[in-house]
Copies of this chain bind each other. A is one copy, B any other.
Amino acid sequence: MSRPTKHAPERGNARTRLLEAARDIIREKGFAATSVEDLCKAADVTKGAFFHHFASKEALGVAVAEFWAETTTAYFAAAPYHAPDDALARILAYVAFRKAIITGALKDFTCLVGTMAQEVHASAPDIRDACGRSIFGHTATLEADIETARRERGITADWSAESLARHMQAVLQGGFVLAKAGNDPVLARESLDHLERYIRHLFNAMEDDAHDENDPDRLRLRTDAP
């Protein structure tokens, strides 16, 4: 059906369509419960196409994790939370941004690589490692601002920028787990309020009004963070 040629790929190529389908379906059903036929149906391709592009289902798993890393990196790089001049304000804007994009259905805001890592960590090390690279690659992008804020504010701390960045990610991931268990996105947002309060405490900024304007229009996007 409507096989798009290389010069008229109106639907995008099969590989990309499979990756997008995998991102959406695995976020909802998990990796093991997603069959390659599920993916082929959703992407409207045949099994032949699937195994032409991916050597195995596991290889597809690695590829979606990398696909996720690429798309979310671009997404966060373009996000509005980098705007403030003050480093701490940028950090708080990040948290506010993450909170703001937690809306709608679970499958639209939860984290693909967190879900996959938890599921396949023991049985598919390659996928796990790809997920790890996505997650920790993202946390690393927060470290510079944390370090700058600490220096700017003259904070002598017994914690590293690295560990705080990872903690922020842990709160997000944990919020997603609770949101799924309780079937309510509020549970994820709730923890981000505590995270924001914690960060303000760390930087002696309990009073500051650092509410950043995350333009609602720019927040209506589909993918989410690693």
Q: Does A8 lie at the interface of the complex (its beta carbon under 8 Å from any beta carbon of B)?
A: no
Q: How far is the CB of A210 from chain B (nearest CB, A)?
A: 16
Judge if A53 is at the interface, Cβ distance under 8 Å: no
Chain B neighbourhood of A93, CB < 8 A: none
Query: Does any Cβ of B come within 8 Å of A172's Cβ?
Result: yes
Which residues of B lie under 8 Å from residue A202 when comparing CB positions?
197, 201
How many copies of the polypeptide does the oligomer hold?
2
Once the chains bind, are A187 and B166 in contact (CB under 8 Å)? yes
Partner of A180, one of B117, B163, B201: B117
A135 cross-chain contacts in B, Cβ below 8 A:
178, 181-182
Q: Tell me, yes or no, whether A99 is within 8 Å of chain B by CB.
A: no
Size range of the chain A interface in the assembly: 35 or more
Q: Which one of B28, B119, B167, B190 lies within 8 Å of A194 (CB-CB)?
A: B167
Specify which chain B residues have a CB less than 8 angstroms from the CB of A176 in the assembled complex: 118
Indicate if the CB atoms of A194 and B187 lie closer than 8 Å.
no
How many angstroms between the C-alpha atoms of A182 and B117 in the bound complex? 9
Q: Cβ of A175 and Cβ of B177 under 8 Å apart?
A: no
Choose, from A13-21, A106-114, A145-153, the stretch at the interface.
A106-114
Q: Which one of B106, B120, B164, B170 lies within 8 Å of A174 (CB-CB)?
A: B170
- Between A and B, 25 residue pairs with Cβ closer than 8 Å are A28-B122, A30-B120, A32-B119, A33-B119, A115-B119, A118-B176, A119-B119, A125-B183, A128-B180, A128-B183, A135-B178, A136-B181, A163-B194, A167-B171, A167-B190, A167-B194, A170-B187, A171-B171, A171-B191, A173-B178, A174-B174, A177-B177, A194-B198, A197-B202, A201-B202
